[in-house]
Amino acid sequence: MEKGSPLSALEPEKIAVWFGHLTATEDACRRYWTLLDAAEQARADRLVNPLWKRRHIEAHGLLRCLLSPYLNQPPGQIHIKTAAHGKPFLADHPEWTFNLSHSGNHLVIAMGQHCRLGVDIEPCKPQQNLPQLVKKCFAQSEASYWQALADSEKTTAFYRIWTIKEAFVKATGRGIALGLDQCVTDPGQPGQFLRLPPAYEPPGQWRIIDLEFPTEPDLCGALVTDQARTVQEWPACPLE
């Protein structure tokens, strides 16, 4: 990612991406809890696992702090609403769109103008159930490509395809209910889709951008958008 200017100067053809780490401490939880609105607090309260709850609170509080300088609103007064299928949006700033993903203590947030976008990150960790996930969530062409790889390449390749699919369904606002096997990547052409559900065609309008994290070589990430955009690093904004 290229180094960027402050978010307030973000050019329309760029998407800003911020990457950071969650501390999940009690202090952070208390600090960010007061910034969340009632709906966000209710969602956090439904998380039974204490660590997941602290991470959720911190991630959404950080989002508000990062947006605050650009929107010229205090973090706790930013109106974040939820669409029919659960995707959050800025009620007072419809020209802006954002998305976040967190996995473990890693957090990535993306924001742009006049576009749909989704982002996903996953740690590239070997799992015994990868073949079952490929069978369930990959199209036949993707599964054939994956099965033909050397065993040493399969884990990274799986997460690369998986994060693209997740980023796409998040960009549409439909989530995995859309059907991951219906969002077909072209492993031979990394920046392209082969097929998509009819409502989101043509595939060529969508851009796939691989995200790289130099300090986290085992982390895989993808950003998907329906407009021609380039990515710049989003400088961290002062937090509360």
Tens of pLDDT, residue by residue over 66-111, are 888 778 889 999 999 998 888 899 989 998 999 999 999 999 999 9
b/e code 152-184 from CB counts within 10 Å (16+ = b): eebbebbbbbbbbbbbbbbbbbbeeebebbbbb
Q: Where do the structural domains in the chain lie, given as residue ranges? A: 12-233
At residue 4, the pLDDT reads 45
Q: What is the pLDDT of residue 54?
A: 96
The answer to whether the CB of 151 falls within 8 A of the CB of 128 is no
| pLDDT computed for residue 9 by the predictor | 60
**Residue 69 pLDDT:** 79
Q: Tell me the C-alpha distance between 213 and 115, whole Å.
A: 24
* The predicted structure's pLDDT at residue 39: 94
pLDDT at 83: 86
Q: From CA 183, how far away is CA 178, in angstroms rounded?
A: 9
d(CA 67, CA 83): 19
Nearest alpha-carbon partner for 101 in 152, 148, 168: 168
Do the beta carbons of residue 115 and residue 227 sit within 8 Å? yes
Residues of the chain with pLDDT under 70: 1-9, 235-240
Tell me what pLDDT residue 232 has: 86
CATH, range 12-233: 3.90.470.20
